[in-house]
C-alpha cells in the first residue's frame, strides 16, 4: 500500500500548486509585457510624430523677397518667396486680399527646398487699396505681408 503514503500525496499537491503558480505568473507576465510594449510603441510613435511636426514647423521660415504689382495685360500680382529655413517646405495656398477683393489660390507645385525661391504670378484686379498677402504651408504656418499699389 505504498501508493497511499501521506508523504507522497503532499509532494504531488505541492508540485501542482507550484506549476499553477508558475503558469499564472507566466501568463500574467506575458500579458503585462505585451500590453506595455504595445502601449509604449503607440505612444512613442505618437510622440515622435508630434515632435517631428513641431520641430519641422519651427524650422520653416519663408520671406517675401519680391512682390510686383503689374498691369499688362491686366492687373496682376507676382510674388517671389524664398525659403530661408533649414527644412524644405510646401506652399499650399496663397491669398490676396485688398479689403474688397479676396482671391485664394491653391498651390500644387509649391515645394521649395532650403535656400531656393518660388514665384507665383496671378491675375488680381488690384486697385489703390493696400493688398494683404497670406501664404500657407503644408505644415500650417502662415506668412503675411502687405504691399501698396504704385
User: Are 79 and 133 spatial neighbours (Cβ–Cβ below 8 Å)?
Assistant: yes
Q: At its nearest, how many Å lie between other proteins and the CB of residue 103? A: 20
Asked if 130 interacts with other proteins (CB under 8 A), we say no
User: Using the rule CB under 8 A, is 22 a contact of other proteins?
Assistant: yes
Closer CB to other proteins, 23 or 129, in the complex: 23
Contact 121, 75 (CB under 8 A): no
Name the segment binding other proteins (CB under 8 A); options: 55-63, 88-96, 98-106, 129-137: 55-63
**Does 80 sit near other proteins (CB under 8 A)?**
yes
Helical (H) or strand (E) element with 118: strand 117-123
Residue 130: CB partners within 8 Å, gap ≥ 6? Answer: 98, 99, 146, 147, 148, 149
Q: Report yes or no: 65 and 117 within 8 Å, Cβ to Cβ.
A: yes
- CA 29 to CA 56: how far, in whole Å? 39
Residue 30 near other proteins by CB under 8 A: yes
Q: Which residues bind other proteins (CB under 8 A)?
A: 14-15, 18, 21-22, 25-26, 28-30, 32-33, 36-37, 40, 43-44, 47-48, 51, 54-55, 58-59, 61, 63, 65-66, 68, 70-72, 78, 80, 82, 84, 86, 115, 117
Amino acid at each position: 500500500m505504498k501508493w497511499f503514503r501521506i508523504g507522497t500525496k503532499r509532494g504531488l499537491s505541492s508540485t501542482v500548486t507550484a506549476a499553477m503558480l508558475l503558469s499564472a505568473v507566466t501568463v500574467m507576465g506575458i500579458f503585462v509585457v505585451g500590453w506595455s510594449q504595445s502601449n509604449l510603441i503607440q505612444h512613442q510613435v505618437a510622440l515622435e510624430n508630434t515632435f517631428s511636426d513641431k520641430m519641422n514647423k519651427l524650422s520653416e521660415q519663408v520671406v517675401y523677397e519680391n512682390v510686383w504689382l503689374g498691369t499688362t495685360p491686366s492687373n496682376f500680382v507676382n510674388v517671389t518667396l524664398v525659403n530661408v529655413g533649414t527644412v524644405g517646405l510646401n506652399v499650399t495656398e496663397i491669398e490676396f486680399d485688398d479689403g474688397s477683393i479676396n482671391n485664394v489660390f491653391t498651390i500644387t507645385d509649391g515645394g521649395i527646398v532650403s535656400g531656393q525661391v518660388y514665384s507665383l504670378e496671378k491675375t488680381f484686379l488690384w486697385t489703390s487699396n493696400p493688398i494683404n498677402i497670406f501664404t500657407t504651408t503644408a505644415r500650417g504656418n502662415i506668412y503675411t505681408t502687405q504691399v501698396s499699389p504704385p
